[in-house]
Amino acid sequence: MKLFAISDLHLSGARPKPMDIFGENWNGHWQKIRENWSRMEIGPEDLVLIPGDISWAMQLEAAQIDLDEIGQLPGHKVVTRGNHDYWWSSLTKVRSVLPEKLYALQNDAMRFGSTVVCGSRGWICPGGMDYKPEDEKIYKREVLRMELSLKGAKKQEGDLLIVMIHYPPFNEKQERSGFMELFEQYGVDQVIYGHLHGRSCRFAFEKELCGIQYRLVSCDHLQFCPVLLAER
């Protein structure tokens, strides 16, 4: 089994949204992703992790066409919520409409073979340029949710632990955060995150730190091609 990742698909099947306002490279981005998905030879038993910003839809019903599009691609796909996924209501409702081989994670964990995947949305970290006093409550809540995910992951007893988080788990200065402390405490192997686009990718941290590999997997950062994380 091969493990891949790509985030921030920003689909808009119900009400098409021009994406070239974010740059010419976004023209036909979904077609590019599908073509690269095929080029990477992602197979039926492979696993693709998609940490957030799945669809521009505002309601679950409107997001259905986008979820079905993802479901038609080969492999097992795992999605978590991003800051633009307003359609994501209760986890029970989301899971009830997912096509075969498309799974939703929210503050919990799943095991695929000997690989365990867990995750949550995350939030802006303290010390960041946009961090305000009112963010503290949400940040602390998201750290607690991440710990719930990691506790669930430990019960799965796999030998490779991957965390999906939409927001970068650190600020622009890449200072330590509560998320990073949890990753080290629970023995995480890899962390994938999205949210950053364009010039913001200059803040990306894609190195190994304290034995943990961090990767930015926003689709435009990856040239709209899923990145290989591991082969099991």
* pLDDT bracket for residue 20 (50, 70, 90): confident
Q: Closest Cα to residue 98, out of 60, 126, 130, 134?
A: 60
- Coil vs helix vs strand at 12: coil
What is the per-residue pLDDT for 61? 97
Encode 75-126 in three state secondary structure: CEEEEECCCCCCCCCCHHHHHHHCCCCEEECCCEEEEECCEEEEEECCCCCC
Q: What does the pLDDT average to over 222-229?
A: 97
What is the per-residue pLDDT for 81? 97
pLDDT in tens, 98-146: 999 999 999 999 999 999 999 999 999 999 999 999 999 999 999 999 9
Residue 9 · residue 37 · CB < 8 Å: no
Check pLDDT > 90 for residue 198. Answer: no
Residue count (the chain): 232
What is the per-residue pLDDT for 21? 76
* pLDDT bracket for residue 159 (50, 70, 90): very high
What is the per-residue pLDDT for 174? 87
Q: What does the pLDDT average to over 179-185?
A: 97
87: left (phi over 0), alpha (psi -120 to 50) or beta: alpha
Check pLDDT > 80 for residue 190. Answer: yes
* pLDDT bracket for residue 191 (50, 70, 90): very high
pLDDT in tens, 89-111: 999 999 999 999 999 999 999 99
Greater model confidence, 19 or 212 = 212
Which domains are delineated in the chain?
2-231 (3.60.21.10)
pLDDT in tens, 25-50: 999 999 999 999 999 999 999 999 99
Q: Name the burial class of residue 25, with classes exposed (0-12), middle (13-18) and buried (19+) by CB atoms within 10 angstroms of its CB.
A: middle
Residue with tokens 């019960």: 155
